[in-house]
């Protein structure tokens, strides 16, 4: 579980840096923090430009993709902005299945990540 939290927090930091080219206002909630609120919710990243929130992003790990989490995604997808999920590449099919079952597959964008280590 500790490794999952490390990967999650690293991905949140990495995405903040990478998305800073596209979004001028990026607010982050690291490791379950509740510092930056959007309509009563605390997503991992809140993405905005010129004072407007355009999207919220949740970073998931293999262990965090559950039917209970899909209920949270359903709430976030109904906030009037785009919801983007970042999930491990092997968990994409499981995530899409949960989104279909929750009835929100058409309202959520799913991105994937993977960590590759190449040894000599």
In this prediction, residues 13-21 reach a mean pLDDT of 95
Average pLDDT over residues 16-24: 94
Q: What is the sign of the dihedral through the CA atoms of 82, 112, 16 and 76?
A: positive
Q: Is the pLDDT score of 119 beyond 80?
A: yes
pLDDT tens profile 70-100: 999 999 999 999 999 999 999 999 999 999 9
**What's this model's pTM, rounded to 2 decimal places?**
0.91
Tell me what pLDDT residue 120 has.
Answer: 87
DSSP structural state of residue 91: G
Instruction: Tell me what pLDDT residue 98 has.
Output: 97
Mean pLDDT over 30-37 rounds to: 83
The confidence score (pLDDT) of residue 34 equals: 87
Beta bridge partners of 56: 46, 83
Taking CA atoms, 13 is separated from 5, 26, 45, 77, 100, in Å, by: 12, 11, 9, 22, 29
Whole-number pLDDT of residue 1: 63
Q: Cα 80 to chain center, whole Å?
A: 16
For 99, counting Cβ atoms within 10 Å of its Cβ (0-12 exposed, 13-18 middle, 19+ buried), the class is buried
DSSP state, 36? S
Neighbours of 95 (CB within 10 A): 22
């Amino acid at each position: 579980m500790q490794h999952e939290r490390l990967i999650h927090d690293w991905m949140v930091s990495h995405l903040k840096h990478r998305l800073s080219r596209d979004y001028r206002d990026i607010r982050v909630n690291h490791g379950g923090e509740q510092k930056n609120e959007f309509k009563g919710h605390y997503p991992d990243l809140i993405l905005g430009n010129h004072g407007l929130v355009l999207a919220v992003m949740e970073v998931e790990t293999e262990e965090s993709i559950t039917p209970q989490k899909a209920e949270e995604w359903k709430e976030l997808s109904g906030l009037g902005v785009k919801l983007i999920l970042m999930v491990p590449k092997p968990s994409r099919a499981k995530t899409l299945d949960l989104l279909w079952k929750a009835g929100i597959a058409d309202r959520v964008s799913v991105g994937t990540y993977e960590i590759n280590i190449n040894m000599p």
